Chains A and B, each alone.
Chain A
Amino acid sequence: MKTYLPPEYIVKRDVKLCNKCKVCIQQCTYGVHYYDEKEDCMLSRDENCVNCQRCVFFCPKHAIIIRKNLVSYRKNHHWTSEVITAVKKQAETGRAILTGMGCDKPNLTYWDKLLLNASQVTNPSIDPLREPIEIRTYLGKKSKQVELALTGEVVLKTELTPQLCLEIPVMFAAISYGAVNLNVQEALARAAVECGTYFNCGEGGLHPNLYRYGDHLIVQVASGRFGVHPEYLNIGAAIEIKIGQGAKPGIGGHLPGEKVGKEIAEMRMIPVGTDALSPAPHHDIYSIEDLKQLVYALKEATGYAKPVAVKIAAVHNTAAIASGIARSGADIIVIDGVLGATGAAPKVIRDNVGIPIEFALASVDERLRNEGIRNEVSIVASGSIRSSADVVKAIALGADAVYIGTAALVAMGCTVCQRCYTGKCPWGIATTDPEISKRLNPEEASRRLINLLNAWGIEIKEMLGGMGINSIESLRGNREQLRGIGLSESELRILNIKPAGR
């Protein structure tokens, strides 16, 4: 069948600059560039190009530019070229269209419609270079009340529940071995240790090389139960039950058998070459009381020494679901918004299912407070956090901390080209190919991550100081520090913030 799909990108090569060194051929994992010996020139297979920018960065002569191929279909706001391409692609393949990373549609980023406050005159702002500003955060169940024995010496009667201590309220979201290679996980682990935060190994089990980072690790238990064994549960600082994920709410996972090599098979505890299927639901959780059983089964297995988190995708009834989770014995609720990323998801799901994290977060925090159980759980916001400002806004809306996934990958080199599902990531990130994986040096990548978190830490303190706040808990749920711009009455009401100027 002749393809009616035009190439998405065009490779522009300045032949005057190009010295035919062939670096681009080595760097491209999609076979875009090739050398024509007969003509003695460099040529491109444009249809293979994903616009990852690898060749552009590595061309020593800066001879390459990648352009979007602007196909001149007749202009149509409804039948855009993206839509036409999708229909043609499906007509040719008969399959769901796969994609990677998070939803790229406009109008779903509400962080940019929220503005922060600062002190003037009536309240002195605080200079973080001169005064201490605290951003340490504890995640976990807090008691409703501290009980003390007061005969003579004050003695604490309330038992402290297990907590995660974050020196910066930013953690690395679940990214599994299989979706990425060990170098990536190693880099995340080292940065988590250095910055006093946590990384999450995702649902693909845990490589023995990462056991030494256990104190800064959150292990995940997902519907496939891959790699879950007593040692795994006990090695981490916390356990996360993954119910759903913002990029694909209601959808399971499928790692094809071809990708299940010896190492992945060992870690996932499945035979080599078999498909690794994560069912859409947990087949032992068909209701909220089943979740409670799993939470307590995991607590039993780990001697009640570790907080248990439950991760859900932000969907329409998130507030009610979160209330149920808070009563299930879970210590932390993770909410992943519609913009949350993934290694692979059907595009139609990624772009159409779920709601923005800002609304989910605001309504969950509100509901838990109204029910008087906000102290029972910590809330982690995930999906779409790009900057320290997003972190501050999330905490002001009611989050205790945030997860970053895409931002961490971008720090390591990712250019968000959305082709993670091919397993050929030229930046050595979303690939388990041993040769391509070598492109990511865990030492250098962890340095980039550490720099990123340190920079965010400084910026968070600057913003807090400006508000006249010297401890992050005074920001949590402090929506008076937020104003909305360009939001409808109902959006303002759900976020429970005032419009700018009022």
Chain B
Amino acid sequence: MRPLSQVNNPYKDDKNIDACALFGMINIEGTRFPFKDPLKAISNMRERGNGLGAGFAVYGIYPDHKELYAFHVMYLNRQAKRRVEKSLEEEFRVVLSEELPTKEAKVSNPPLTWRYFVEPNTSKVNEEKITEDDYVMKNVMRINVSERGKALIFSSGKNMGVFKGVGYPEDIAEYFCLEEYEGYMWICHSRYPTNTPGWWGGAHPFSLLDWTVAHNGELSSYGANRRFLEAYGYKCTMQTDTEVLTYAFDLLVRKHKIPLELVPKILTPPFWDEIDQMQQKQKQLLTALRQTYSGLLMNGPFSLIVARQGQMIGLPDRMKLRPLTAGMGGSFLYLSSEEAAIRVVQPTLDKVWNLTGGEIVVGMVKAPAFVRLQLATMR
């Protein structure tokens, strides 16, 4: 048996089964703000977590190095660190490497955590004729797969960073000294897993390049989604359903250039009966999307907060089986598992509503208004 400290899913369940608290807030002016409000909100939903995992993704965190990919890496031992660093030196130009600042907190068995600011080896990128993002993704996946949990690159985007581990949100925030950072968008997660992962890498949010996914739910379609994505070159190694959501967004939006507002038409599409009744053009479009990406239909109860540079997206499942509330107040858009968590940081909101099944909410920095699209409605 593998040591529990190295794996996300020690009992090799099909996937991780958990319930969670989600919270995200974005300042649409792009103004950076500290961790106080997001932490207060996520901590307010203590019932939804059980201290076995929490995490934060912060955007706009590294303005001084915003052109460089920021890797956050956890190591279980010095050998793993040497191996990964050797690999990084070969594939990247490492501009800065340092230990992530940490301090005493109520957490158990923290791994070594380091951060690297890197840029891809240009000649290798050109040689392989792929984009820089694809190059970074390929190498991150390669390292994560080959290290088998001994090392994990858990954050790999530009000007953003993920901090996560085993503990309650306030403990993780304290451990990683989050008071030192500011960002214009914070995505927070607190977990209630049904197994007992001792591995810090298993905490949420999951991140790849600048995509972050925080997820409350369980995908009944996980097996179908995983097999579909594997045919597109993604390697699902974490035995958790959140991973496939991350890759689905990456495939659709970054690689296949599907506009964000159409993504729910794939992940949580309208029913065929509804598509049948649409006008010819829209019917063809939705039919093409649903047929082509049938393996990405996400089934089961979930609510999602997906983020990337400048954007925060909220999406509940087709039938709205898990909660997700949106709120607008001042220059902020909030997404949360519970309205109370939004009210605790912003008692007066201009607008607050519960998302319906398949409804997407997108908050964008410097967007003229929040975009709200009614996409798939239940009968």
Contacts and interface: CB of A to CB of B under 8 A. Distances in A.
Interface in B199-247: 218, 220-225, 227-228, 230-233
A468 B271 CA distance: 16
Interface stretch (B37-45, B280-288, B363-371): B280-288
A474 B220 contact: yes
A155 B220 CA distance: 32
B256 interface: yes
Contacts of A481: 223
B379 interface: yes
Interface in B265-296: 271-273, 281, 284-285, 287-289, 291-295
A478 B222 contact: yes
A332 to B, nearest CB: 14
Interface string B339-379: 00000000000000000000000000000000000000011
A469 B318 CA distance: 10
B231 A468 contact: no
A154 B258 CA distance: 10
Contacts of B231: 368-370, 372-375
Contacts of A146: 256, 258, 288-289, 292-293
Interface string A154-182: 11101010010000000000000000000
Nearest to A135: B272
A75 interface: no
Given A132-B379, A372-B233, A473 B224 contact: yes
Residues of A contacting B: mostly: loop
A131 interface: yes
A122 interface: yes
Contacts of B228: 374, 477
Contact of A478 (B19, B223, B259): B223
Contact of A476 (B14, B294, B321): B294
Contact of A469 (B273, B292, B299): B299
A460 interface: no
Interface string A133-145: 0101010001111
A146 B269 CA distance: 15
Contacts of B158: none
27 contacts: A122-B17, A123-B17, A123-B220, A132-B271, A134-B272, A143-B288, A146-B256, A146-B258, A146-B289, A146-B293, A154-B285, A156-B285, A160-B291, A372-B231, A374-B231, A396-B223, A468-B218, A468-B301, A469-B300, A470-B318, A474-B220, A474-B221, A474-B299, A477-B295, A478-B221, A478-B223, A478-B224
Interface of B: 12, 14-15, 17-19, 194, 218, 220-225, 227-228, 230-233, 256-259, 262, 271-273, 281, 284-285, 287-289, 291-295, 297-301, 318-319, 321, 378-379
Going nearest first, the 5 A-B pairs with the smallest beta carbon separation are A474-B221, A480-B223, A478-B223, A474-B299, A473-B294
